[in-house]
Every structure is written in structure tokens, then in C-alpha cells.
Amino acid sequence: MSVKITVDYSVFEKKAKSLIKNAPQIYLERVKKATEDRTPVQTGALKANWEINGLSLENDKDYAHKIEFGSAGRAGAFMLTTSVLESQRDWDIAAKRTFK
């Protein structure tokens, strides 16, 4: 006696399409939150100025790059760099677990 199961892939297809469509926004929101959490605060203006613009995370404060990468006599905070690397690592781990 045989056993047969039929899988309706339409449910998986819908979820996969939704995930692919929303993944960039989800990723940017995670990076933004992590970056804000790492942003040094003196007045709060730099931390409050992180914005998602299309497929970019931006901060248009004229001193943002100096805080990120440092300047003469001051080490960089690398808040955005660290957040991007951390999020990439997390997404890679999640993808490997999902698609084993």
C-alpha cells in the first residue's frame, strides 16, 4: 500500500514573495535601530537624524562622517559600519538556517 501527499506550493509562494518584497525595508529598519542605538549623543541631533530614503540609510548632519569614521585626534564611532556588518551576519545566519 502506498502513501501520497500533495503539497500546495501557493502558500509558500505567497509567503516567499512577501518576504522578498519586504526584506530590504526590514533590513534597513534593523540597521537603522542598531545605528541609532550606537550613535553617540551630545545634543541628540545626530541620533535623531537617521532616515531611510528608498534603499538607503542616511544622516545628513554635516558632521556625521566625522563621528562615524573619526577625525584628527578623535576615534570613529563606526555606528553605521558596525550595524551593517552585524545585520549582514544575522541575515546570513538566518538564511543558512532557513535554507539548509
pTM for this entry? 0.81
The domain spans of the chain are 24-98
Q: What is the mean pLDDT of residues 34-61?
A: 97
pLDDT of amino acid 88: 92
Q: What is the share, in percent, of the chain residues with pLDDT greater than 90? A: 66
pLDDT of amino acid 19: 80
3-state secondary structure the chain: CCCCCCCCHHHHHHHHHHHHHHHHHHHHHHHHHHHHHHCCCCCCHHHHCCEEECCEEECCCCCHHHHHHEECCEECCCHHHHHHHHHHHHHHHHHHHHCC
- 81 vs 92, more confident: 81
